[in-house]
Amino acid sequence: MAEKLNASSKRGFMAKAKAKGWKKVRGRDAISKRYVFADFNAAFAWMARVAMKAEQLDHHPEWANVYKTVDVVLSTHDVDGLSDLDVAMAQFMDKTAGAAGR
């Protein structure tokens, strides 16, 4: 079961995540980020890679793709907020997105 981040780990995580372009979602314990890739092929290849990671972790992003843009929201539905799994997923997404991850 995912562990909800406590206040101090959330502060620490948010400080680093904000520097990477993640934002708090208004009215929800969740974060969002827009990734813009070179083209649709790059965007969808990245989504496929993230999808396999999501299955491994049993933790799935809320996301939408239009052409080369992918809008992502991360939150853990089981705990109704941010958890260690969102941290892992955000790190994996940024690591694999290359220049689109900033």
Task: Give contact residues for ligand H2B (rule: CB under 6 A).
Answer: 58-60, 76-78
- Closest to ligand H2B by CB, 38 vs 51, is 51
CB of 58 to ligand H2B, least distance (A): 5
Three-state SS at 99? helix
- Closest to ligand H2B by CB, 23 vs 41, is 23
Helix, strand, coil % (nearest 5) of the chain? 45, 25, 30
Interatomic CA distance for residues 34 and 11, integer angstroms? 21
CB of 57 to ligand H2B, least distance (A): 8
